[in-house]
Amino acid sequence: MSPVLSLLPSAKRRFAAAALPVLLAACASAPDTPPSLYERLGGAPRVDLVAARTVDRAVADPRTRRGFEGAPLATLKKGLAWQMCQVAGGDCAPEGEAMADAHKHLQVTDAEFDALVTLLRQELDRAHVPPSAKNELLRHLAPPKQGGVAR
């Protein structure tokens, strides 16, 4: 008998002796899966916060505000949070149109896009997202290149 179990009263000792194999089996059979990118970002609370702060800053920033004029901010915040959730493997239901379609009429310049990415990067840092998760998210969000120009 274990020295620790011998210190317990008999009823508790019998319970502990019976429960120990079950607990050990549960621990041994638990999958050792790493957390998803969405979990490493902080899940919905942190993703929603980062999206809201990024949109708020983009609306006020002279480098990016042109593309946000007259747009419904609550919808933009929700859309950015949803896009981040989707590309990071979170459990988020599809909403709205694809980002490329939603932005097609805006003719976003490379400078505007780069400025928005800078704001997003700063907000991820401000929210204490680990650098590896931040960089992985930004890689997923990067638009495909066509002819050397981001579209």
Q: Are 98 and 79 within 8 A, CB to CB? A: no
User: What is the per-residue DSSP string for 81-115?
Assistant: HHHHHHHTT------SS-HHHHHGGG---HHHHHH
Work out the mean pLDDT of the chain and round it to a whole number: 80
Confidence of residue 58 (pLDDT cuts 50, 70, 90): very high
Tens digit of each residue's pLDDT (9 = 90 or more) over 5-22: 555 566 665 655 665 565
Q: What pLDDT score was predicted for residue 108?
A: 83
Q: What pLDDT score was predicted for residue 148?
A: 43
Q: Are 85 and 47 within 8 A, CB to CB? A: yes
Q: In terms of Cα–Cα distance, which of 46, 19, 54, 56 is closest to 2? A: 19
Phi, psi (degrees; rounded to nearest 5) at 69: -60, 125
**What is the mean predicted confidence (pLDDT) over 37-44?**
96
Tens digit of each residue's pLDDT (9 = 90 or more) over 88-123: 999 887 665 555 555 555 678 889 989 999 999 999
Tens digit of each residue's pLDDT (9 = 90 or more) over 21-35: 655 565 555 567 899
Q: In terms of Cα–Cα distance, which of 39, 44, 71, 37 is closest to 55? A: 71
Residue 35: strand, helix, or coil: coil
Q: What pLDDT score was predicted for residue 131?
A: 96
Q: Are 88 and 141 within 8 A, CB to CB? A: no
**What b/e string do you get for 122-132 counting C-beta neighbours within 10 Å, with b at 16 or more?**
ebbeebebeee
Q: In terms of Cα–Cα distance, which of 132, 128, 130, 51 is closest to 86? A: 51
Residue bearing tokens 């980002």: 99
